[in-house]
Every structure is written in structure tokens, then in C-alpha cells.
Structure 1
Amino acid sequence: MDYIKKITSPLGGITIASDGKALTGLWFDGQKYFGEALSKEYVEKDLPVFQQTEEWLAIYFSGKAPDFTPPLSLKTTPFRKNVWEIMLKIPFGRTMTYGEIARQVVQQKGLSHMSAQAVGGAVGHNSISLIIPCHRVVGGNGSLTGYAGGIDKKVKLLTMEKIDMSSFHVPEKGTAL
């Protein structure tokens, strides 16, 4: 059984999901791939993991790095899980490129190569936004692309984390990573 809770944030409504013990989803309402990890049947209920998540979000939206992570359950493919685990290690106030993540996957898995686009697909399907900080992943050319919650939210999140935005830009539609 899946459980959800709807909350508000400075950037709009958020829906969080759990299997009863760990967080399985965190989406901005209306974002691309909303509820992808959620089963068809779910119940709205308050749970301890939701209270922990709300505490994490309160610290985060105050402009500080939370010093804990709520328990997470990553319901996804092994490849996406690998990419999401790399994203979990991107520090507050820092960014990483799709290519850097691809190089880490190559190194960890002993592969000969990995495309940044493959990583981009895994990043885009992140079902636990903010906590797994996909907003901190940027194009190698400085483009702020590929945020399922919307580029405007990505810019606000990076700015809130006091990331120097001077070297980043929003690409024109149709521009590659």
C-alpha cells in the first residue's frame, strides 16, 4: 500500500509518497512524470517519514543544508538507482554535469563509455525531487536543462543554494545537452 501527503512549499504544492516506512516519492504538483513511482491505489495519511520529510524541507527552504536524509526507497531500475545514488552525493550549493555523472557510472561499472543523454533520462525520472537533488545537475556547456519541475524552479532552487549563476544559461528549445 502506498501513502501520500500533500504539502505546500515556497515554490508551490508538493506531494510526497511512502510505502509506510520510507519515502518513495516527492514531486512538485503537476511536474513531468508526477507520481511515476506511485501505485494506482494509495491513501492520504500522515506518517513519521512524512514528518521527517517536512522537517527536511523546512530546513532546506530556509536556505540551509539539512544534516539528515529521511529514509528512502528507490523504486526504479538498477541504472536509474545508480545515477540517483550519485546525485544524492552532490553537496548543497554545488552542481555536477550529466557528463561527470556518466563518467562516475563508467568507472563504477567498468564500462567503456556512457552517454550524457542516458544519464539525462535517469535524472529526469528522479521520483524523489529535492532530496535526490536533480536540480543540481547541469549541462556540460553550462545549460540549465532537463528539470521535470520546470526550469524556473531549477533556477530558484540553485539561487536559494547560493550557487553562482553567472556561468549558467537556459538553452533555446531544441538545443542538445
Structure 2
Amino acid sequence: MKSFQDHLKIVNNFHELGETIKVAQFLIQEYGLENPNFKGFELREKAKPEFILMTTEGALGEPQIIRIPENTFEYPLELMLNLLAHEMIHVSQKTKENRIEDKNEREWQAYYEMLFHKIFPQIPEVADFHKRFFAKKALEYFNRMGEGSQLQLKYAAQKLEVDYLLLILE
């Protein structure tokens, strides 16, 4: 695999050419994010620094499309890679084999991955500011699972990891 700096140069070149989808496809291959349930990328409206929206769309059990902002690569590459990994977690959660019905569980798993990179270890770390944000979002979804629910019990050990990370970052 190329170095992060090499990837950054390639991303900037593609971005200057307006090839957002091509560079996103390149990155999922380079960072091992591929999934057979992934149908492709589509562009959405431009993102703003305070709100970068990527979504995974498609019926559960069917191939998924990830919609990314047309200006995705104007933002830090580390952050964009983490957001792409988040969406690729959703792609795998929506396969016939791994089907996860509960949205709170899907989001918990995706945010947990952004913090600890257990499935995609090659994804780079983000700034502490973003880690705090992701950890708080993860905890929001954990709390929505229901106090003492089976899902909360299932993820209790991971929640302790998130709590500890927040403690370190505060």
C-alpha cells in the first residue's frame, strides 16, 4: 500500500479534476474497505465544514449505494476515510448474511469502528476533537438502545472502552 502522503497527493489530483467518485473508489480499494454488497457511489450536495453528510442507501439485504458530498475531498483525508469506513460498516450490516435491523445497533457499531478501527485497522486516526464527537454520538445510540436492554448488555464491554476513551480525551 502507498503511504498516506502518496494517497493525499493522488486524492488532491483527482479532486482538482472533479473526480470525486473515482478517488472514493480508489480509497476503498487502497484501504481494504471493499464489500460485495457495495453497489457504488453517488454524489450529493456540497458539505459544509460543520456538517458533512454521507449516507448508505438501499433496502436491507440489497446492494447499497453510498452518497457522498461532491466536495468530499476538500476536507481532511483522515476524517473522510473514517466517514467512508463508517458507511462501509453500514454496507456490511445491510447484507443478507449480516442483516442488522436495529438502527441504534448499526450506528453504535459504525461509530465504535471510527474510534477503534478493529475491522479496518489501516484507517488513520482522527484529531481528538473528532474522536470526542464520534464517542458522544456512539453513546447517544447506545442510550437509545434502552436502559438494561439486550443490546446494551451485548455492547457493555465496548461501552466501557468508549467511556474510558472519553475520559482520556477530556
TM-score, length-scaled by structure 1: 0.34
Q: Which has the higher helix share?
A: 2
Higher relative contact order (CA 8 A, sep 6+): 1
